[in-house]
Amino acid sequence: MIDIFLLEAILNGILLGGVLALLALGLNIVFGVIDVVWICYAELIMFGMYGNYVLHKDLGWPLLLAFAVCVVVVAVLGVLLHWLVIRPVLGGAPINQLLVTGGVLTFMQALATLVFGIEFRNLGISMPSLELGEIFLSQSRIWACGVSLVAVALLWLFLKKTYLGTAIRAISQDREIMPLMGVKPGRIYLITSAIGGGLAGLAACLLVLQYDVHPAIGLTFGPITFMVCVMGGLGNLLGGFLAAFIFAQFIQVGGFYFELEWGYVFAFCFFIAMMFWRPQGLLGKRA
Partner 1 sequence: MLRVEGVSAGYGSFQALFDVALAVEAGEAVAVIGPNGAGKTSLLRVVSKLIEPRTGTIDFDGHDLAGLGADEVTALGMAHVPEHRRLFAGLTVEENLRMGAFLPAARKQFSTRLEHVYELFPRLAERRDQIAGTLSGGEQQMCAIGRGLMSGPKLLLLDEPSAGLAPVIVQQVFDMVQRIRSEGFTVLIVEQNIQQVLRVVDRAYLLEVGRIKASGAASELLASDDIRRAYIGL
Partner 2 sequence: MGRLANLIGLVALLAVPMLGVSDYVLHLGITILIWGFVYTAWSLMGRFGLVSLGHGAFLGIGAYTVTMLWNHAGISPWLGIPVAVALAVLVAVLIGYPCFRFRITGHYFALVTLALGEIVLMLIVALRDWTGGSLGVTPASALSADVSFSLVALQVSSKGVFFYVAVGLWLLGLWVWKRVDSSMARYALEAANEQEDAAASVGVDVTRTKLTITVLSAALTALGGIAYGQYQLYINPETVSGIAKSLEIVFAVIAGGMYVRLGPTFGAAFTLLLAEGLRVAFGHDVHGLDGTIYGLMLVIFIIFMPEGILGRLARLWETRRAPTSPRTASA
Whole-number minimum distance, CB 99 to partner 2, in Å?
A: 6
**Smallest gap, in angstroms, from Cβ of residue 154 to partner 2?**
28
69 forms part of the interface with partner 2 (CB under 8 A)? no
169-208 positions binding partner 1, by CB under 8 A: 169-170, 173-174, 176-184
CB 120 within 8 A of CB 52: no
Q: Are 107 and 100 in contact (CB under 8 A)?
A: no
Considering beta carbons, is residue 128 or 182 the nearer one to partner 1? 182
The whole-angstrom separation of Cα 10 and Cα 22 is: 19
Measured in residues, the chain has a length of 287
95 makes contact, choosing from partner 2, partner 1, none, with CB < 5 to 8 Å by partner type, with partner 2
| Cα–Cα distance, 80 to 121 (Å, whole number) | 27
What is the Cα–Cα distance from 151 to 67, expressed in whole angstroms?
14
Q: Which of 104, 195 has the CB closer to partner 2?
A: 104
Collapse the DSSP code of 125 into the 3-class scheme (helix H, G, I; strand E, B; otherwise coil) and give the result: coil
Residue from 89, 142, 178, 283 touching partner 2 (CB under 8 A): that is 89
Rounded Cα distance between 113 and 10, Å, is 35
* Among 7-15, 51-59, 163-171, 266-274, the segment contacting partner 2 (CB under 8 A): 266-274
Quote the CA–CA distance of 99 and 106 in Å, as a whole number: 11
* Residue 227 C-beta: closest distance to partner 1, Å: 24
Task: Pick the closer one to partner 2 by CB: 165 or 284.
Answer: 284
**Binding to partner 1 by residue 131, rule CB under 8 A?**
no
- Per CB under 8 A, contacts with partner 2 among 23-42 are 31, 37, 39
Q: Figure out which of the listed residues 1, 59, 95, 180 binds partner 2, where binding follows CB under 8 A.
A: 95
Cβ contact 80:257 at 8 Å: no
* Binder of residue 177, out of partner 2, partner 1, none (CB less than 5 to 8 A by kind): partner 1
User: Least distance to partner 2 from the beta carbon of 256, Å?
Assistant: 14
Q: Which of 227, 244, 246, 248 binds partner 2 (CB under 8 A)?
A: 227
Query: Is 65 one of the binding residues for partner 1 (CB under 8 A)?
Result: no
CA distances (Å), origin 185, targets 103, 133, 171, 200 = 25, 53, 8, 22
Integer Cα distance of 44 and 85 in angstroms = 14
Give Cβ neighbours of residue 214 (< 8 Å, ≥ 6 apart): 118, 119, 120, 121
- For the CB of residue 249, give the shortest distance to partner 2 in the complex, in Å: 17
Q: At closest approach, how far in Å is the CB of 158 from partner 1?
A: 14
Among 92, 146, 179, 186, binds partner 2 (CB under 8 A): 92
Measured in degrees and rounded to the nearest 5, phi and psi for residue 132 equal: -120, 95
Q: CA-to-CA distance for 212 and 25, rounded, in angstroms? A: 23
Cβ(278)–Cβ(266) below 8 Å: no
Q: Which residues bind partner 1 (CB under 8 A)?
A: 163, 166-167, 169-170, 173-174, 176-184
